[in-house]
């Protein structure tokens, strides 16, 4: 739905309670929400408490999906925090008898025309509370500009794009058909990353998921149409042994995009696409062994498929099986 809401309370002790529609599932979105609140108010992160996602506090939430969660909820949170900050500045301006534009809050200190006033964050909040200033705000954000007409399949469905490149090296065992991803070197467009550690973790996870998607996660059905790969014993997913031996991630130097939260671009799903490189690298390795191999698209490229493309002739496979058995006997008599 490309919309989100946030609820922010500033308590009289100076602490800040934040509720959004973002669901934390290990992707680090709560960390980014905390950063948004701390950055807008310019306070220590320890002052901010992230509440669990609850529709009694934030209703009509959009799904936490499609890489948009941090952008949507972060923008809504930023609007709510900014509105509260303006009220605090107005309250301080009345106290110091100056225009609100002369007041700023930096590192939990109140400044007047760039000079520290000696008033701290807790004192400012307490003063606003005693002046009966509302210290609660609800923020709503709907992504502007985007539009799409399904009838003619044209429009502007995305606020911005993410760019990147991956160089993937694989090694194929031409006896067994197995393969290993030796290295992945990525240049990724983070924009102006809010949290490089979180974003790099998302890239690593998306990369491995993408490799699994293109090389092992095969959906199979039996002749009667029943799903034959409905369990983890039959549907293969990546594990720690599927992780490339080397992963290098370099940020692309870009100015970011104002549609992204603090110009920090979404980094959930885009890295999944880097797994495509593993598929084509394996194809090139197969073609190096079997020059007659016709490039085609048949994902995922499982070891069984690789073996069949390395030895497309049934007689070749039979001879391979005999040679492989003989080799195994020599190794383990």
Active-site residue set? 269
3-state secondary structure 90-106: HHHHHHHCCCHHHEEEE
CA 135/CA 223 separation, integer angstroms: 64
Q: Please answer whether residues 198 and 26 qualify as being in contact, where contact means their C-beta atoms are separated by less than 8 angstroms.
A: no
C-alpha separations of 75 from 215, 235, 313 in Å: 37, 39, 59
CA 301/CA 117 separation, integer angstroms: 66
Three-class secondary structure of residue 114 per DSSP = coil
Three-class secondary structure of residue 42 per DSSP = coil
296 contacts: CB under 8 Å, gap ≥ 6: none
- Supply 228's token pair: 């034959």
Burial call 200-219: b when 16+ CB within 10 Å, e when fewer: bebbbbbbbbbbbbbbbbbe
C-alpha separations of 70 from 240, 254, 268 in Å: 28, 19, 10
CA 198/CA 249 separation, integer angstroms: 13
Which residue carries 């948009």 as its tokens?
68
Q: Classify residue 229 by burial, with Cβ atoms within 10 Å: 0-12, 13-18, 19+.
A: middle
C-alpha separations of 322 from 315, 316, 317 in Å: 11, 10, 9
Helix (H) or strand (E) holding 6: strand 3-10
């Amino acid at each position: 739905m490309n919309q989100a809401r946030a609820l922010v309370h500033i308590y009289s002790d100076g602490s800040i309670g934040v509720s959004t529609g973002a669901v934390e599932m290990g992707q680090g979105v709560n960390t980014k929400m905390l950063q948004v609140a701390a950055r807008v108010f310019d306070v220590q992160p320890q002052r901010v408490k992230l509440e669990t996602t609850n529709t009694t506090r934030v209703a009509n939430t959009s799904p936490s999906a499609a890489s948009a969660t941090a952008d949507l909820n972060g923008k809504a949170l930023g609007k709510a925090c900014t509105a509260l900050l303006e009220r605090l500045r107005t309250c301080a301006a009345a106290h110091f008898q100056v225009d609100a534009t002369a007041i700023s809050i930096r590192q939990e200190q109140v400044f007047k025309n760039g000079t520290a006033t000696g008033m701290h964050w807790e004192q400012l909040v307490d003063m606003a509370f005693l002046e009966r200033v509302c210290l609660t705000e609800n923020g709503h954000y709907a992504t502007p500009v985007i539009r799409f007409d399904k009838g003619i399949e044209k429009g502007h469905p995305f606020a911005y794009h993410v760019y990147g490149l991956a160089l993937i090296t694989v090694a194929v065992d031409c006896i067994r058909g197995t393969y290993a991803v030796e290295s992945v070197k990525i240049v990724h467009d983070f924009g102006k990353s809010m949290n490089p550690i979180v974003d790099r973790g998302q890239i690593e996870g998306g990369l491995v998921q993408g490799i699994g998607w293109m090389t092992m996660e095969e959906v199979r059905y039996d002749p009667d149409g029943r799903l034959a790969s409905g369990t983890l014993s039959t549907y293969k997913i990546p594990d720690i042994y599927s992780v490339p031996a080397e992963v290098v991630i370099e940020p692309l130097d870009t100015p970011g995009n104002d549609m992204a939260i603090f110009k920090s671009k979404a980094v959930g799903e885009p890295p999944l696409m880097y797994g495509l490189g593993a598929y084509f690298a394996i194809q090139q390795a197969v073609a190096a062994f079997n020059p007659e191999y016709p490039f085609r698209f048949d994902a995922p490229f499982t070891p069984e498929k690789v073996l069949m493309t390395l030895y497309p002739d049934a007689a070749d496979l039979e001879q391979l099986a005999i040679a492989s058995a003989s080799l195994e006997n020599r190794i383990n008599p």
